């Protein structure tokens, strides 16, 4: 049973928007692509865990804070007798494992060690569980999900799951007898309740007036066109939505990028590319937000 779904982080949402509305620097662009690829890899893992039919809880994208230390676990499976945290990696190309570290086969530079990331998460998770008086074994794994990933010298004594092993590994978990009770549900719910939004790194510098305006497709991340006065369509992926949905998404996008700005009819009118009338935008805002002030000082929250 899925207890917590996965969504893009606030940082990734912001970079998706900025990538479409401005020219990111090479460094910022690489960071955005890294986050996007990692998220897509996590979704690939989710597609497999969705097929689990055993009596287990699945918690995705859990960010916790314990005694001032923040840590994030990509996925957790809670079974009757074991807790399985997963560090998910969407690496591609050829890598080699040597001296306990990872590097690309054609590079001399080591990458951030996912085994160390996993061990840190396990230690901190154990401390959180102890605070909840939960004493179950923790079996953590680094899961590589990209079928185009190869790891030379892959160790057999490390908690590493290669792409070719992933389905069989999850099948093994699925076939393990598990019967959850109210105690499991209670501490699983407490874990989810402890989730915090992952700290958002500072976005690249930008100004409202310099960003490209228009309705941004939530799927294809391209700009949408209006058809018939009440429908928005993405010309890249074909995604469709009502203008009401588009306006409400635009307000969320503005709040993400400009958290201290007041939402006004004129602001949303400009942000959406001035393809909707101010009258329509004002009506949508009046129906979905609390209005404050009067006349030219009217804003919504």
Q: What is the pLDDT of residues 80-90, one digit of tens each?
A: 999 999 999 99
Q: In whole angstroms, give the CA distance from residue 98 to residue 102.
A: 7
- Residue-wise pLDDT tens digits, 24-57: 999 999 999 999 999 999 999 999 999 999 999 9
- Tokens at 89, concatenated: 């990696």
β-strand partners of 110? 103
Distance CA 218, CA 133 (A): 41
pLDDT at 74: 97
Q: How far apart are CA 51 and CA 60, in angstroms?
A: 15
Number of helices (H), then strands (E), in the chain? 8, 14
In which band, very low, low, confident or very high, does the pLDDT at 235 lie, cut at 50, 70 and 90?
A: confident
What is the arithmetic mean of pLDDT over 156-171? 96
73 has a pLDDT exceeding 90: yes
Over 70: is that where the pLDDT of 59 sits?
yes
Residue 230: pLDDT band (50, 70, 90) is confident
Could you tell me where the DSSP H helices lie in the chain?
10-21, 26-49, 114-131, 166-175, 182-193, 243-257, 265-271, 278-288
Q: Are 166 and 141 in contact (CB under 8 A)?
A: no
Structure tokens given for 90: 């969407």
The predicted structure's pLDDT at residue 252: 96
Q: State the pairing for strand pair 240-242/231-234.
A: antiparallel
What is d(CA 161, CA 86) in angstroms, rounded to the nearest whole number? Answer: 10
Query: Which of the residue ranges 64-78, 156-170, 196-210, 231-245 would you say has the lowest mean pLDDT?
Result: 196-210
Whether residue 266 is predicted with pLDDT greater than 90 in this model: the reply is yes
User: Of 40, 49, 51, whose CA–CA distance to 147 is shortest?
Assistant: 40
- Confidence label for 228 from pLDDT (cuts 50, 70 and 90): confident
Which residue blocks in 132-229 are alpha helix, DSSP H?
A: 166-175, 182-193
Q: What is the pLDDT of residue 199?
A: 66
> What pLDDT does residue 134 have?
95
pLDDT digits (tens, 9 = 90+) for 181-226: 999 999 999 999 999 987 666 788 999 999 999 999 999 999 999 8
pLDDT (0 to 100) of residue 197: 83
pLDDT, residue 201, reads 64
Tens of pLDDT, residues 91-143: 999 999 998 999 999 898 999 999 999 999 999 999 999 999 999 999 999 99
**For the chain, percent of residues with pLDDT exceeding 90:** 90
Report the pLDDT value the prediction gives residue 229, as an integer from 0 to 100.
80
Structure tokens at 177: 């007898």
Residue 247 CA to residue 249 CA, distance in Å, equals 5
- Asked if residue 142 lies in contact with residue 165, where contact means CB atoms within 8 angstroms, the answer is no
C-alpha–C-alpha distance, residues 50 and 152, integer Å? 30
Q: pLDDT class for 295, splitting at 50, 70, 90?
A: confident
Q: Which residues contact 66 (CB under 8 A, 6 or more apart)?
A: 124, 127, 128, 131
Q: Is residue 298's pLDDT more than 90? A: yes
- Residue 112 DSSP label: P
Strand-pairing partners, residue 102, are: 97
């Amino acid at each position: 049973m899925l207890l917590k779904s996965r969504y893009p982080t606030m940082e990734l949402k912001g970079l998706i928007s900025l990538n479409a509305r401005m020219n990111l620097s090479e460094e910022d662009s690489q960071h955005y692509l890294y986050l996007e690829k990692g998220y897509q890899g996590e979704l690939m893992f989710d597609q497999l865990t969705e097929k689990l039919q055993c009596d287990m809880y699945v918690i995705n994208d859990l960010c916790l804070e314990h005694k001032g230390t923040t840590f994030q676990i990509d996925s957790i499976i809670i079974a009757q007798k074991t807790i399985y945290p997963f560090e998910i990696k969407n690496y591609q190309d050829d890598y080699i494992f040597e001296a306990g570290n990872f590097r690309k086969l054609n590079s001399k530079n080591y990458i951030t060690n996912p085994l160390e990331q996993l061990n840190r998460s396990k230690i901190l998770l154990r401390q959180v569980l102890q605070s909840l008086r939960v004493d179950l074994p923790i079996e953590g794994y680094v899961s590589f999900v990209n079928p185009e990933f190869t790891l030379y010298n892959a160790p057999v004594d490390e908690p590493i799951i290669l792409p070719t092993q992933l389905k069989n590994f999850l099948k093994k978990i699925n076939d393990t007898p598990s019967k959850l009770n109210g105690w499991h549900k209670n501490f699983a719910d407490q874990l989810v309740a402890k989730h915090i939004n992952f700290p958002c790194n500072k976005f690249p510098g930008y100004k409202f007036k310099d960003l490209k305006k228009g309705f941004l497709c939530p799927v294809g991340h391209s700009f949408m066109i209006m058809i018939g006065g009440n429908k928005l369509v993405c010309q890249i992926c074909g995604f469709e939505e009502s203008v009401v949905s588009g306006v409400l998404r635009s307000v969320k996008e503005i709040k993400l990028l400009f958290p201290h700005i007041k939402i006004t009819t004129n602001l949303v009118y400009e942000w959406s590319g001035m393809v909707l009338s101010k009258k329509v935008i004002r009506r949508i805002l009046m129906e979905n937000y609390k209005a404050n002030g009067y006349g030219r000082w009217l804003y919504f929250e």
